[in-house]
């Protein structure tokens, strides 16, 4: 289990650093551990991010994972700095950047082949059937200049109907050939059901799922996490900032951000810390496209400061006040009410990329993958049945029209 260390909150804010200062100074820890000073070029090489066991796989992974959904080919120095600070769990997918994410990782390994063995490398297949996964895996290995990946995911599953005997046989064969070490899936939709079903299967090694301060206290999610832990499944949390389809720039967010700054850290760091306080979560996958975000997240990961009761209450109050702007991923409810005529949850996620992440290009590219016939139908549908069932009380009809306006 991750061992926590005690710091003053003032020192925690200092740890976050500012890129322009030229160095990032890590506070002096208690119990006699030395102060570590990391230059902006990472010359000290000190590993400061803790590790956790990844389920019962026998692998230990950095509690902070580098999400690869950014321009990796143009950010090679960031990869080097991530390694120096101990961010050695890297996550990508065959579809990220049209393959440029994997190609960027391959460029890095080509220049630094000795580092490959230090990285727990994750990539994903955008096809869900074994017939196409062999080709996808071969392509990913070629792009990343490696003979194997540590964890191979089926990307974005909504249910586990495809996790059948044929899929199990494919995974076992890929493992026996030394091409993958572990196998699992990622999920943005119906996460709890997918996790519970995976625990019952008995042969899933890892899952990456939407998990954050909004969802982690729900009984269904807690039961799903505990079931996976009993089954030995390693869990990676994503979408941990809890951004929504509706902009969260509100008085509630400003009050929360100001409160945490007075405590000595940012609201974004607090959201990460809340997830790390669940010991059954192995790590957090975070998109960190620049050194400023990387430094801030490493500071939060390495500091070990725990949230106070008031800190947690502040996050829960914010979650309650902004619930109608956040899609909780329960697509079985809203899409079932609409007779599955439109992928409501996917559209909500694309709006989140557009509004919360500011990634307009990615959001529009994903929206364009929805068939034109479905997009045309979106404008004519009556969304009241879905709105009546939505646990979050989201204005689904308004948001669908917004998506057609900003993403089309």
CATH number (domain holding residue 133) = 3.20.20.100
Same domain, residue pair 246 and 151 = yes
The reply to whether 23 falls in a domain is no
pLDDT for 152-194, tens place per residue? Answer: 999 999 999 999 999 999 999 999 999 999 999 999 999 999 9
* 135 and 163 part of one domain: yes
Query: Which tokens in the block code for residue 219?
Result: 């009984």
Residue 118 lies in a domain: yes
Same domain for 115 and 155?
yes
Mean pLDDT of the chain: 88
Reply yes or no on whether the pLDDT at 202 is more than 60: yes
Please check the confidence at residue 249 and state whether its pLDDT lies above 80.
Answer: no
| pLDDT of amino acid 402 | 93
From 318, 335, 351, give the residue that closes a domain. 318
Range of the domain at 105: 49-318
Last residue in a domain, options 273, 300, 318: 318
Give CA–CA dist 163/332, Å, rounded. 18
Instruction: Say what angle helices 100-111 and 76-84 make with each other, to 10 degrees.
Output: 60
**pLDDT of 28 strictly over 70:** no
Q: Give the separation between CA 348 and CA 395, rounded to whole angstroms.
A: 11
Q: Are 183 and 171 in contact (CB under 8 A)?
A: yes
Q: What is the pLDDT of residues 311-347, one digit of tens each?
A: 999 999 999 999 999 999 999 999 999 999 999 999 9
Predicted local confidence at residue 234, as pLDDT: 98
Q: Is 200 exposed, middle or buried (0-12, 13-18, 19+ CB in 10 A)?
A: exposed
**Burial grade of 31 (CB within 10 A; 0-12, 13-18, 19 or more):** exposed
Which tens digit of pLDDT belongs to each residue from 129-142?
998 999 999 999 99
Tell whether 260 and 159 lie within a shared domain: yes
**One domain for residues 243 and 354:** no
Instruction: Judge whether residue 272 has pLDDT over 60.
Output: yes
Q: Within this chain, do residues 308 and 374 fall inside the same structural domain, yes or no?
A: no
Boundary of a domain, candidates 318, 340, 373: 318
The answer, yes or no, to whether residue 4 has pLDDT greater than 50, is no
- In the chain the first and final C-alpha atoms are separated, in Å, by 46
Same domain, 371 and 255: no
Kind of pairing between the strands at 120-125 and 89-91: parallel
Residues 230 and 335 in one domain: no
Q: Assess if residue 39 is contained within a domain.
A: no
pLDDT band at 38 (very low <50, low <70, confident <90, very high): very low
Distances (CA, A) of 390 to 197, 212, 355: 23, 19, 21
Q: Are residues 142 and 262 in the same domain?
A: yes
Kindly state whether residue 25 falls inside one of the protein's structural domains.
no
Q: Is the pLDDT of residue 125 over 90?
A: yes
Q: Confidence band (pLDDT; 50, 70, 90) for 14? A: very low
Task: Give domain status of residue 193, yes or no.
Answer: yes
DSSP character for 343?
Answer: -
Look at residue 250 and tell me if it is in a domain: yes
Examine the domain organization and report whether 135 and 220 are in the same domain. yes
CA dist., res. 146 & res. 337, Å (int): 45
Number of domains in the chain: 2
Question: Does residue 5 fall inside a structural domain?
Answer: no
Residue 37, pLDDT score: 41
Could you report the per-residue pLDDT of 281-296, keeping only the tens digit for each?
999 999 999 999 999 9
- DSSP string covering 172-204: HHHHHTTSEEEEEEEESSSHHHHHHHHHHHS--
For 344-367, write each residue's pLDDT tens digit: 999 999 998 898 888 898 899 999
Task: Judge whether 113 lies within some domain.
Answer: yes
- Indicate if 256 and 204 belong to the same structural domain: yes
Residue 112 pLDDT exceeds 80? yes
Q: Cα dist. 351→146, 374, 402 in Å?
A: 35, 17, 9
Reported as a pLDDT band with limits 50, 70 and 90, residue 407 is very high
Same domain for 311 and 334, yes or no, is no
- pLDDT(99) > 80: yes
Write out the H or E segment, with its range, that includes residue 133.
helix 130-144
Instruction: Report the percent of the chain where pLDDT is more than 70.
Output: 88
pLDDT of residue 63: 98
């Amino acid at each position: 289990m991750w061992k926590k260390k005690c710091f003053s909150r003032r020192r925690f804010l200092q740890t976050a650093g500012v890129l322009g200062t030229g160095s990032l100074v890590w506070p002096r820890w208690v119990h006699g551990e030395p102060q570590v000073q990391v230059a902006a070029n990472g010359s000290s090489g000190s590993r400061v991010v803790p590790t956790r066991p990844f389920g019962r796989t026998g692998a230990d992974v950095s509690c902070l994972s580098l999400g690869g959904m950014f321009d990796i080919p143009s950010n090679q120095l960031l990869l080097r700095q991530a390694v120096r600070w101990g961010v050695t769990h890297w996550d990508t997918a065959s579809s990220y950047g049209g393959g440029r994410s994997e190609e960027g990782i391959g460029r890095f390994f080509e220049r630094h082949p000795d580092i490959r063995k230090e990285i727990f490398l994750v990539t994903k297949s955008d096809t869900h059937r074994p017939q196409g996964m062999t080709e996808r895996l071969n392509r990913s290995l070629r792009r990343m200049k490696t003979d194997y990946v540590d964890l191979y995911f089926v990307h974005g599953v909504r249910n586990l109907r495809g996790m059948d005997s044929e899929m199990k046989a494919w995974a076992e064969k890929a493992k026996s050939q030394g091409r993958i070490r572990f196998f699992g899936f990622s999920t943005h939709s119906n996460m709890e059901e997918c996790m519970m079903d995976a625990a019952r299967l008995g042969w899933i090694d890892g899952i990456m799922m939407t998990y954050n301060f909004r969802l982690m206290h729900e009984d269904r999610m807690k039961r799903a996490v505990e079931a996976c832990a009993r089954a030995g499944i390693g869990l990676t949390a994503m979408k941990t900032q809890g951004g929504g389809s509706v902009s969260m720039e509100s008085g509630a967010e400003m009050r929360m951000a100001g409160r945490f700054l007075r405590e000595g850290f940012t609201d974004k760091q607090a959201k990460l810390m809340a997830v790390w306080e669940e010991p059954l979560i192995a790590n957090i996958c975070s998109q960190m496209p620049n050194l400023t975000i990387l430094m801030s997240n490493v500071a939060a990961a390495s500091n070990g400061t725990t949230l106070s009761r008031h800190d947690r209450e502040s996050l829960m109050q914010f979650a309650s006040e902004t619930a109608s702007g956040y899609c909780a991923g329960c697509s079985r409810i809203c899409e079932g009410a609409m007779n599955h005529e439109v992928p409501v949850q996917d559209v909500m996620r694309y709006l989140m990329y557009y509004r919360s992440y500011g990634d307009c290009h990615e959001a529009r590219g994903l929206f364009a993958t929805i068939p034109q016939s479905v997009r045309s139908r979106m404008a004519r549908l009556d969304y009241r049945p879905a709105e009546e069932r939505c646990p979050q009380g989201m204005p689904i009809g308004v948001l669908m029209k917004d998506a057609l306006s900003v993403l089309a």
